A = this chain, B = another copy of it.
Amino acid sequence: MFSKFTDSDFNHYSSLFPGRVFRGSEINEDYCHDELGTAHGTPDVLVKVLSTDDVSKVMEYAYGRNLPVVVRGSGTGLVGGAVAIHGGVMLDTSLMKKVLELDENNLTVTVQSGILLMELAAYCDERGFQYCPDPGEKSATIGGNISTNAGGMRAMKYGVTRDSVRAITVVLPSGEVMRFGSKVVKNSSGYDLKDLIIGSEGTLGIVTEATLKIIPKPEHAISILVPFRSMREAISTVPKIIRAQVTPVATEYMSQDVILFAEEYLGKKFPTHDSDAYLLLTFDGNTREAVMHDMETIAELCLENDAIDVYMIDTEERSASVWSARSAFLEAIKGSTDQMDECDVVVPRSLVADFILYTHEVAKTVGLRIPSFGHAGDGNLHIYLCRDGLEERVWEERKDRAFAMMYSRAKEIGGLVSGEHGIGLDKKAYLLEALGERQLEIMRGIKKVFDPKGILNPGKVV
C-alpha cells in the first residue's frame, strides 16, 4: 500500500533539513510509543521541523512518494495516536515553539504548534493574560491539545481547547498550506473546516500554527476542598452545583486511594485524610467579593448536601499541595502498577456517580483494580485498569472484558467513548460500536477528501 522508505528518501530529507533528520539507532526508543505505551511502531525516519514551510516540504515529497507520515508533539498521548505503526516518516514538531504574535487588542496569541502548554501558560501569565484550557499534562504541545481537543481543569467555566482556537494553519497531506478560521470571533462563512481538524488526531492535516483566544487574567481565585462521607454523596452534589447560579472554574472528584498514590508519588502530604471522597472546586473572578460570594454559595450548598467540612485552599502552600496531588494522579497510578490502560469516557453529568459505581462493579466482576478520578463537573472520567503483575493473557482478557462492559454502559446512558484523550489506535473498535458503521463511513469519506492517498497517520481514528 505504501512505498518502502529508501536511502534516496533519507538523502532527500537530509539535504533539505541538514542535522535534523535521523534514522535507525539515531532515533530514540521514546519515539516508538506514546505515554501509555499500548502501541508500538518504529519510524523509518525522524524529521525535526522548524516551520510551516518545513512541514509543507516534508509532505509534498511524502505525498509524491506515497510514504506514510505521523506527526508527533511531546508524545504524551494515551491511545497510540502518535505512533508510526506503518513506519515511514515521523514529523517531530517539538522544535516549533515560537510565539508569533500577541494581539492585545483582539485578545489572541498566535503560536507554532510545538509550544508546550506550560510554556504558553507562562508566556500569557507574565503578560497578564490567561490561555483558558488547562489539561493535566502540562508538557503536551498545543498541537497535541488541538489534535485531541483536550479539555482539562477549567472546561466547566471556560470550555475545551476547541473553544479557544480561533484559527489554525494546516498543511494538507499534499503539502498545500491552508488557513482555517481567522482572528474574528463569529463565523458563518462556509463549512466549519477548523472544527473538523480540531480533534482529528493528525489524520486530516497537520496543524502548524494556531491563533488562540486569551483573556485578561482573572484577578482573584480561590479553591475549596470538600470531603464527603461517600463517593455517591460527593458526586450527587455536582448537578446541584451546576444548577446553582454560579459556575466554578473546576469541579474535580478525587477518591482517597488515588490521593494516597499521589502522596507517595510526590512525597508530599495532602492537607486532609478525613474521608473517602472529595470534591475540589475553584472559583475565579475580578473582585474578591464576587469570588467569595461564589465560593460561599457553593460551600453552603455542599454542607447542605452532607459534606463533612469545607477547607479553604487559601495559602500558597495548601494550594500547591492539593493541586500538585491532582496533577500527579495519572503518574501516581502509573507508578502503582506494572502496566495500565485507560478509559476516558464522558457521560451526562447527572450520571457520573452511577458510572463510577459501575466501574467498581466491573472491577469485581473481571478481577482488576480500577482506580479513577475525573472532571466531575464535565462528566468526564479518567478510569485506569491496572495489570498488577497479571500474566499477559489474563491481563489482556480481563482488560478487554472490562473495556467492553464500560463502553457499552457509557453508550446506554448517552455517553461517548472519549472526552479528551481521543481514539488513536486503541479505541477504534469502541468508536465504531458507539457511533455505528454509517457515521464511521462518513468520517472515512471526509478523510478521503483531505487525504486521498491515506498517508497521514494511517490506521488511526476511522
Contacts and interface: CB of A to CB of B under 8 A. Distances in A.
A135 B348 CA distance: 28
B287 A346 contact: no
A183 B447 CA distance: 26
Given A188-B422, A414-B183, A107 B243 contact: yes
A374 B240 CA distance: 38
A346 B185 CA distance: 8
Interface string A90-106: 00000000000001111
Interface in A124-168: 148-151, 155, 159-160, 162-163
Interface stretch (A192-200, A299-307, A324-332): A192-200
A419 B346 CA distance: 31
Interface string A39-55: 00000000000000000
Interface stretch (A11-19, A56-64, A390-398, A436-444): A436-444
B193 A199 contact: no
Nearest to A439: B178
Given A191-B446, A216-B244, A289-B289, 5 more contacts: A150-B188, A160-B186, A188-B418, A190-B431, A192-B196
Contact of A435 (B106, B155, B189): B189
A78 to B, nearest CB: 11
Contacts of A162: 192
B242 A190 contact: no
Contact of A191 (B199, B289, B346): B199
Interface stretch (A275-283, A361-369, A375-383): A375-383
Contacts of A189: 416-418, 423, 431, 434-435
A239 B106 contact: yes
A462 B416 contact: no
Contacts of A34: none
B104 A243 contact: yes
A414 B242 CA distance: 38
Nearest to A461: B190
Contacts of A439: 178, 180, 190, 193
Contacts of A195: 192, 195-196
A186 B219 CA distance: 27
A426 to B, nearest CB: 13
For the complex of A and B, list the 8 residue pairs with the smallest distance between their C-beta atoms, beginning with the closest: A445-B449, A105-B350, A195-B195, A245-B286, A186-B419, A105-B239, A184-B346, A290-B290
A187 B196 CA distance: 13
A319 interface: no
Given A106-B349, A239-B106, A378-B185, A191 B461 contact: yes
Q: Is the interface of A mostly helix, strand, loop or mixed?
A: loop
B443 A191 contact: yes
16 contacts: A106-B242, A149-B186, A150-B188, A184-B378, A186-B420, A187-B199, A187-B416, A187-B418, A188-B419, A189-B423, A189-B431, A190-B443, A195-B196, A216-B245, A246-B286, A449-B449
A421 interface: yes
Question: In this complex, which of A162, A190, A192, A379 has the most chain B Cβ atoms within 10 angstroms of its Cβ?
Answer: A190
B190 A198 contact: no
Contacts of A388: none
A242 B104 CA distance: 9
A176 interface: yes
A196 B443 CA distance: 11
A348 B106 contact: yes
Nearest to A422: B188
Interface in A331-373: 344, 346-350
Contacts of A243: 104-105, 107, 216
